[in-house]
Structure 1
Amino acid sequence: MRANKKLWAAVTVCAAVVAGATGCSQGGDKATDPFAGLTADAIADKAVETTKASTALHMSGKGKTDGQEMSIDFAVDDKGNCKGSMQSPGGGKADIVGTGGASYMKADDAFWKSNDGGDESSDEEGAGIAALLNGRWMKMTDEGGAGDDGPAAFCDLKKIITDMDKDTPRKGLTRDADADVNGTPAVVLSKKDKDESTTFYVVKDSAKPYILRVVTTGGDEPGTIDLSDFDKPVTVSAPPADQVVDLEELMKGMS
């Protein structure tokens, strides 16, 4: 499963699901294996379908896009609430919160420059945005019809999980030796293509086989995503009005 490319394009990476507590044995004893008799592909099917029913999740990790590393620490639920932060290749950082159909971003100067292309003119644009915001939050809505590429994608759990479903391998998988992920016993499933390998870790629990971790090596977008806080509501408050600048008004100011 790759990181969500559309969210990466929007300055972060995203994709996948989350961990749950389990009392299963970590050992490989067939008698205690909740997936005994199932193929690796069948386990993957159960994990993905279970994940698609999630109502909230927390994701954190690092990955590369266009040869540059980015990181994310983000929580989102199915009510359009989200909050977290991201680190850009240039060392800049941005905080994001979303609620009530709007997303808000506050970032440092380095973030705006590094996400505006990196050339001289883009650096000037980034500096201009930073100056106009002056430490305030930028409000973004999807009223302009940007759809899948718009700001609403930040807080769209259904979209994130749908993309996860599309990018998660379900055929031709191999079950490797079980492992432990942050204290939780996990089944390890992997698949190798020509220049890329994907490994994902599933909670060793037949009732709640959520995906705990996804690791992609090789290829154009290597990275690792960890997931947790399954079904845990995300509590968010919009920034105070006097600390917010509307994106549309900001663009008018720049023009």
Structure 2
Amino acid sequence: MLRTLLALGAGLALTGGAAGCAADPDAGTNGVGRQTPEAIAAKSRAAALAARSVHLSGTVAGRGTLYHLDVRLTDGAGVGRVTGGGRDFEVLRVDGRLYVKGEAGLYDTTGTSREAAETLRDKYVVVPPDDPAYQGLEELTDRRALLGTVTDLAGPPRKDGYGEVGDSRTVAVSGPGGGTLQVALQGTPYPVRVDRPAGGSLDLSDFGKAVKVTAPPPAQVVDLGAVPSAVAGR
């Protein structure tokens, strides 16, 4: 599991592509496209971080593997699913605790005994803060941390054309490393897509919409530290 999270974390760094150009692209918009690239990037990032909740869905390329990510985040809580690299697991953060739920194969390649892996299979496993996987899971389920990562262009941006994401007209800004944000031209200038030429893109939606995250039933919860040989990536 730790290798999966490390690869996923590497893939979350922005490396993106440009959108196409449209005639009279700023007509009837929120006006953000008329501003400097620095202002567009800053306003988009600020809008994303100010939203109390968000839905991120798409693909992330990390260390030669394409992962599909689908998470819903709100203040202090998050729930989602990650697939790729032969792994498929759910992640949950609620009431100050981190949980992961997956097949036995998620654990039996990390030093965990087969017996322990079977015990953990399809259970909500509490990940302790000292586990090597904790940091990756925490960022994946922390609204501000994850949005901060995916909206960071890591340097001076440039304006990179106009386009559309779904029904939203957008303006693109790219960083020196190739990372690109597609910023909404209607309403609040949220970043609605992050594109990467290395593979994968993330769509951001449902800003500010209520997200219900509940703790799992106690009968489905297993404390990682209480299972012999369950090291989950240590």
- What is the TM-score when the length of structure 1 is the normalising length? 0.73
Aligned residues of 1:184 and 1:203 also touching (Cα < 8 A): yes
Closer/same/farther in 2, CA of residues 60 and 31 from structure 1, 3 Å limit: closer
Closer/same/farther in 2, CA of residues 130 and 62 from structure 1, 3 Å limit: same
Q: Secondary structure at the match of 1:46?
A: helix
Structure 1 residues not aligned, in runs of 5+: 1-5, 17-25, 117-121
Aligned residues of 1:14 and 1:59 also touching (Cα < 8 A): no
Aligned position for 1:53: 50
Identity score, percent: 24
1:190 maps to amino acid: S
Displacement after TM superposition at 1:189 (Å): 2.3
Counterpart of 1:174 (choices 159, 183, 187) is 159
Is 1:83–2:86 an aligned residue pair?
no
Aligned position for 1:204: 185
Q: Give the whole-Å Cα distance in 1 for the aligned partners of 2:149 and 2:81.
A: 21
Matches within 5 A, 1:134-145: 134-142=121-129, 144=130
1:43 maps to amino acid: I
Aligned residues of 1:191 and 1:199 also touching (Cα < 8 A): yes
What is the total number of aligned residue pairs between the two structures? Answer: 220
Q: Secondary structure at the match of 2:192?
A: strand
Aligned position for 2:119: 132
Closer/same/farther in 2, CA of residues 127 and 66 from structure 1, 3 Å limit: farther
Aligned residues of 1:103 and 1:140 also touching (Cα < 8 A): yes
Is 1:163–2:170 an aligned residue pair?
no
Aligned residues of 1:174 and 1:191 also touching (Cα < 8 A): no
2:146 maps to amino acid: I
Aligned position for 2:18: none
Displacement after TM superposition at 1:230 (Å): 0.4
1:44 maps to amino acid: A
Structure 2 residues not aligned, in runs of 5+: 15-21
Two-structure CA RMSD over aligned residues (Å)? 3.2
Aligned residues of 1:179 and 1:186 also touching (Cα < 8 A): yes
Counterpart of 1:245 (choices 200, 222, 226) is 222
Closer/same/farther in 2, CA of residues 89 and 48 from structure 1, 3 Å limit: same
Q: Secondary structure at the match of 2:196?
A: strand
Closer/same/farther in 2, CA of residues 57 and 192 from structure 1, 3 Å limit: same
Aligned residues of 2:181 and 2:194 also touching (Cα < 8 A): yes
2:181 maps to amino acid: F
Q: Secondary structure at the match of 2:41?
A: helix
Displacement after TM superposition at 1:151 (Å): 4.4
Displacement after TM superposition at 1:169 (Å): 4.5
2:185 maps to amino acid: K
Aligned residues of 2:104 and 2:122 also touching (Cα < 8 A): no
Aligned residues of 1:75 and 1:234 also touching (Cα < 8 A): yes
Q: Give the whole-Å Cα distance in 1 for the aligned partners of 2:7 and 2:126.
A: 15
Displacement after TM superposition at 1:71 (Å): 1.2
Q: Give the whole-Å Cα distance in 2 for the aligned partners of 1:128 and 1:147.
A: 20
